[in-house]
């Protein structure tokens, strides 16, 4: 059988967790590509703390250098 390629556009909660799930459960050899407009993940529930100055923005984000950006 030919290898499958899955492209996920958007690396927010939905896309990042879909990619993580597929990486674990997709058939071996499946290529999973996650495309996001940035190379970092924003943990949105912490944004009010960033807006109030209780946290700095890097504390609410995590880098994902392996992501393809568009």
Quick one: which of 4, 5, 7, 12 contacts ligand FAD (CB under 6 A)? Answer: 12
C-beta of 32: minimal distance to ligand FAD in Å?
A: 15
Q: What residues contact 34, with CB distance under 8 A and at least 6 apart?
A: 8, 11, 15, 16, 19, 67, 68
Which window, 23-31, 41-49, 55-63, contacts ligand FAD (CB under 6 A)? 41-49
d(CA 29, CA 49): 41
Quick one: which of 23, 29, 33, 37 contacts ligand FAD (CB under 6 A)? Answer: 37
Q: What residues contact 49, with CB distance under 8 A and at least 6 apart?
A: 55, 60
Site of interaction with ligand FAD (CB under 6 A):
9-15, 35-38, 44-45, 47-48, 70
């Amino acid at each position: 059988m030919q290898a499958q390629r899955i492209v996920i556009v958007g690396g927010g909660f939905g896309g990042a967790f879909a990619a993580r799930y597929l990486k674990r459960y997709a058939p071996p050899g499946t290529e999973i590509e996650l495309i996001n407009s940035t190379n970092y993940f924003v943990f949105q529930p912490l944004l009010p703390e960033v807006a109030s100055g209780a946290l700095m923005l890097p504390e609410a984000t995590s880098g994902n250098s392996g992501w393809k950006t568009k």
